Chains A and B, each alone.
Chain A
Amino acid sequence: MKNLLILGAGTAGTIMANHLRKKMNRSEWKITIVDKEGDHYYQPGFLFMPFRIYSEADVVKPKRKFVGGGVDYLEADVDRIEADANQVHLKNGNTLAYDVLIVATGTTPVPEETEGMTGPDWRKRVHEFYTFEGAKALANTLDDWQGGRLVMHICEMPIKCPVAPLEFVFLADSWLRERGLRDKTELVYATPLSGAFTKPVASKILSGLLEEKQIEVVNDFNISHVDNEDHKIVSWDEREVPYDLLVTVPTNMGDPMIERSGLGDELNFVPTDKHTLQSKAHENIFVIGDATDAPTSKAGSVAHFEAEVLTENILAFTQGKPLPEKFDGHANCFIESGNEKAFLLDFNYELEPVPGKFPVPGIGPMSLLGESKLNHMGKMAFRWIYWNVLLPGHPIPMVGHRMTLSGKKLPEGVKAPQPLV
């Protein structure tokens, strides 16, 4: 019997387990998935918790429930991978041998990376919504908000769901309006990027939206430290942004287990072939989701597309065949823009988000890079799709892992990508 071991039962690991248990020969392969935590969080829901649009119960379910029969589920903390010996050491002292390993340990915010971030203001005036605990604490603080300077801030890139901070200020704007507090609140967006977003066409549109909503933008802001005494963040080039409430996205890093295994880059992300998802260092190690260093968004939608590619590649690998599938970097993200409207972005390694219709060319019904109520409904429907379609590994109709050009309008100056062969 051979062992296929999956580390991490988050979005990517769970989908992989559910794909592989249906496709692998289980008299030859034993599939095991390991995770240190019992609860599965619908992380996109963390954005809505501070505004009490989602309750805690909307976003948490037991992890085990989503891993289907035929897979051994193990709740344990992984200490390190010993790649040269094809084994994984657990913190409880046990070891697990593998023939094929899938690393799906994701990324988490590490506020300690920034001087002063976890000082006296932490969870009082300084908050984050990238964790369940953080989103809950921020909801309590917002309940008491009476106005002042509310600063949304990003420490450094890359972060998972790079549009989430923008969504937060857009939602905050409409939430404040509803409560009659918008006039009493200065909304500020401080980012290390030179624009609102990482890609030019979308960045321009989103910058326009920030301006329209009178949200002050501070660009190229690389944080050096948080000053808890004067309640301000200070950049390396000595600019200062005062806050009454700071909502920050701390540095996102891969799990420290990756560092202990000697498998990561400076942020503990695993160097990975961006098309095949094979680790660059070991041919029987594959990496998926937020744990990779692939140059696309760290997003659940990406993990979902990658899972289709990786399933085919793992099946081929276990049969000694060349890896057949190539991932093109496809990402598909809704952006909540407030007032129950949203944008939709669809892009890949080669093509930035451009306007158009999705998923049916010319018809939609959803519009790419345009604001609509329907996009918002799509985003809100996604929670159901996540629990019932995505995690069990069922295909989502009409949305394939390869990005398609049909339905997209390329603005002048944007080059069409070469199709992957």
Chain B
Amino acid sequence: MSVTDVDTVEAKTATDVRRVKKGEFRSARGLLAPAVIFLILLTQIPFLVTIGFSMIKWNLLYPKDRGFTGVDNYVTALSSGALWPSIVATVLITAFSVIMSLLFGLLFALLLDRQFPGRAVARTLMITPFLVMPAAAALIWKYSMFDTNIGILNWVSRSLHLPVVSWSTEHPLLAVVIVLTWQFTPFMMLILLAGLQGQDKGILEAAQVDGAGTWRTFTWITLPHLRMYVEIGVLLGAVIIIQVFDPVAILTKGTGGTKTLAYLLYERAFIGLDVGEAAAYGVVTVVLTIIVATVALRTLFKVFMAGGSR
């Protein structure tokens, strides 16, 4: 097969709309059935059970007092006043962490896009925070960075004769965001670096020939090119960070406006030991997440659609 052959084949599949016969469809579906059924069993049954639990009164500590309550648990969940602050906390933490890690990710991606000796080592080191387990990352920050006695940050402020700051107490939201930013900057950096390296060198050279400076080249050529990668990074990052649990549990215990939905749910289930109420919170959380995810996925599909708005 020569190069031209491949080109024509590609052109064909891209332009011709393939008509699939109904029979072919059916057999394809039949072959997929085991996997699909398995997937449904694995994902949907636990959710249905959760919905079932959310309709019953069941506190683990009152074994004899179990029964159907209908929507009581939902009324409790929505009227307890814990849900709204929790949604606010989740949104704030997610938004700030995504934006911060995106900015830092872009900065480091631009630096790593250049040729310099030891670039591979630098790249590996930059990725490390993303490979550290979330709980371990939160512990590292809690003790060796934020701590008032042994933390590096306070050692620095002591040496500069600045006041000692107890980060996770005085700035709980910021502390959680800092940890998450540190963790997710490499993730954003990798996506953006892939984007940068996918730039057409020819266009960049043309810009140089036309006398565009570095800044103009960056704002007029590189940034529009990166738009798609930024969108993917933001979407994936938001979907992961919205479930944040570890830094909240380890740094702040949900105090100071950092009680995210995941942590609230954990408290109801494992400290309140109230299966019904926790299940109701879980269902509410799922509904909210589905709304966010639908909007997000729509946008994601737009990104992948050839000949979309780009």
A binds B: no
